[in-house]
Chains A and B, each alone.
Chain A
Amino acid sequence: MLKNRYLAFLFAMMLLVLAACGNAGTKDSAEKVKKEEPKAAPTEMILATTTSTQDSGLLDVIIPMFEKENNVKVKTIAVGTGQALEMGTKGEADALLVHAPAAEKAVVDAGDGINYKRVMYNDFILVGPKENPAGVSGDDIMAAFKKLADSKATFVSRGDDSGTHKKELGIWEMDNIKPAGEWYVSTGQGMGQTLQVAAEKKGYVLTDRATWLAQEKNLNTLQIVVEGGKDLMNIYHVMQVNPEKHDKINSKDAEKFVEFMVDPKTQDVIEQFGKKEYGQSLFKKYTE
């Protein structure tokens, strides 16, 4: 008979994998049960937020705190602010942590977002090539953008409807400039990748400070050229999705999450975050 054993072996391997998975599953849940013996199974909450909060590592610190205190399993979906707000509007998330005040206001006014609270801020900065061909400096971002457009120096835009992108478009609008042409590059990607593109193309780029600090080590060709102006504030708000508009919204935990974010204890953690590594806070407390 032709070798029966191949298939027997293959079959056995598949069974083994299944068994392993089964075992793993029971083991996992067994551990969970052990860890949280006195508690009930954790409830689940979906947090839609921006890539900057995840990429900076802030969420890795504060989310576990919240989960532990409230017996909640938070599912963090890090996307652009535009998409995060859209998830809120559609009822696909329970809470939002975002940074595009004008767009957020529209969501709150429409009644899709409630319990809207200011949480923290950092600032946007303009970084550019060390040679600084457009010769921009100081703290006036509007003047700097005008100079960039005039000199047609390469500018790299997120182009992804994120909070940072919205901010950039706002500045162009205040300047009454419609950025277009070969010098204006739109990546459609996250902040990290966009900074990479700017470094390779020796272009100027608007970024949040947290991402810049985290990535500076990979970006030798770039430096900060404009910072500190009041127009460069990057403000983060938290809100919960209106449970009356959709089924299945976990408003109980979302409300707790909003309260948690503005709690003085959490605010201190936010303020301290990154100080050790970068010598400065990546986000500053900023409640109302």
Chain B
Amino acid sequence: MSPLLELKKLTYQAQRKMILDIPEFQIETGEFLGIMGPNGAGKSTLLKVLAFLDQQTSGEVLYRGQAIPNGNAPLELRRKFSIALQQSLLLDGTVFDNIAIGLTLRKVPKSIIKEKVEQWMELFAVSHLAKKNALYLSGGEAQRVNLARAMIVEPEILFLDEPFSALDFPTKIRLMEDFKGIIEEAQTTTVFVSHDLMEIHFLTTKLAIIVNGEIKQVGPTPRVLEHPNSSTVSFLNEWKKFYPVAR
């Protein structure tokens, strides 16, 4: 069976600089993939290309074995994906309306929207905020709304770009624990960009290390962390000084 998403001979250049150079890469159904690397390694660009929100310079992105026209992914395909960024980027309106927006844009009937929003607000513990303006939330609350907004459309793949990195430690821990439970329950395939080893270790099942636009190592998360190869060892060891996650 073909993988859910697949990259073939993909390059991405900006102002003649190579940002991404990935000969091949796969994302399988059901995995929680972490993409980790130093700042400027090309993590966010990779995420955008995978989510059909940006155009690669050359190469192909395949969805279930089928090549998708570059920069022209059909709306139905885009709507199978969801994305949540570091900044929550909520809209001026109630928390309820913000969480509902993905469904509203997909023209889901109102009664179903109400039911689903209530269900997802409950899961992310923001029910009491339903009528509050989303622009006046605390960082943790806003990120909960942001994740609920992404999850409510029940995406085939959920893309996350450092959604926890701006939160203070206790808030982060609480949200990550809640989130992990929700994802495991929903069994959503997730692509998670982060530069934080603790987040990666806690959440992901598979890990790709990207440095200078190239994927240097891929494998089950514990294995990558325990056995970094020659290209990733220096980067990972820096982190392990602070989080001795892998013995």
Contact = CB atoms under 8 A, between A and B. Distances in A.
Interface of A: 1-3
Contacts of A2: 91-93, 97, 101
Interface in B64-111: 91-93, 97, 100-101, 104
Interface in B101-145: 101, 104
Contact of A3 (B93, B100, B101): B93
Interface of B: 91-93, 97, 100-101, 104
B209 to A, nearest CB: 40
Nearest to B96: A1
A3 B92 CA distance: 10
A5 to B, nearest CB: 12
A2 to B, nearest CB: 4
Contacts of B100: 1
Contacts of B101: 1-2
A133 B155 CA distance: 94
A238 B221 CA distance: 100
Given A1-B97, A2-B97, A3-B97, 4 more contacts: A1-B101, A2-B92, A2-B93, A3-B93
Contacts of A3: 93, 97
Contacts of A1: 97, 100-101, 104
A198 B91 CA distance: 62
B107 to A, nearest CB: 10
A1 to B, nearest CB: 4
Nearest to A2: B93
11 contacts: A1-B97, A1-B100, A1-B101, A1-B104, A2-B91, A2-B92, A2-B93, A2-B97, A2-B101, A3-B93, A3-B97
A145 to B, nearest CB: 71
Contacts of B104: 1
Contacts of B97: 1-3
A3 B100 CA distance: 12
Nearest to A3: B93
B116 to A, nearest CB: 13
A76 to B, nearest CB: 53
Contacts of B91: 2
A6 to B, nearest CB: 11
Which 8 A-B residue pairs are closest in the complex by CB-CB distance? A2-B93, A1-B104, A2-B97, A1-B97, A2-B91, A1-B100, A1-B101, A2-B92
Nearest to B134: A2
A1 B113 CA distance: 10
Nearest to B92: A2
B5 to A, nearest CB: 30
A61 to B, nearest CB: 60
A53 B101 CA distance: 66
A2 B95 CA distance: 10
B159 to A, nearest CB: 23
A2 B91 CA distance: 8
A1 B96 CA distance: 8
Nearest to A4: B104
Contacts of B93: 2-3
B194 to A, nearest CB: 31
B175 to A, nearest CB: 25
A131 to B, nearest CB: 68
A7 to B, nearest CB: 13
A6 B235 CA distance: 52
A1 B92 CA distance: 11
Contacts of B92: 2
A3 B96 CA distance: 12
A2 B105 CA distance: 11
A3 B133 CA distance: 12
A2 B92 CA distance: 8
B29 to A, nearest CB: 31
A2 B100 CA distance: 9
A1 B102 CA distance: 9
Nearest to A1: B104
A19 B97 CA distance: 33
A203 to B, nearest CB: 60
A1 B93 CA distance: 8
Nearest to B104: A1
A97 B228 CA distance: 100
B94 to A, nearest CB: 8
A3 B97 CA distance: 9
B97 to A, nearest CB: 5
B234 to A, nearest CB: 48
A3 to B, nearest CB: 7
A148 B100 CA distance: 84
A221 to B, nearest CB: 60
B76 to A, nearest CB: 21
B72 to A, nearest CB: 28
B15 to A, nearest CB: 37
A1 B100 CA distance: 6
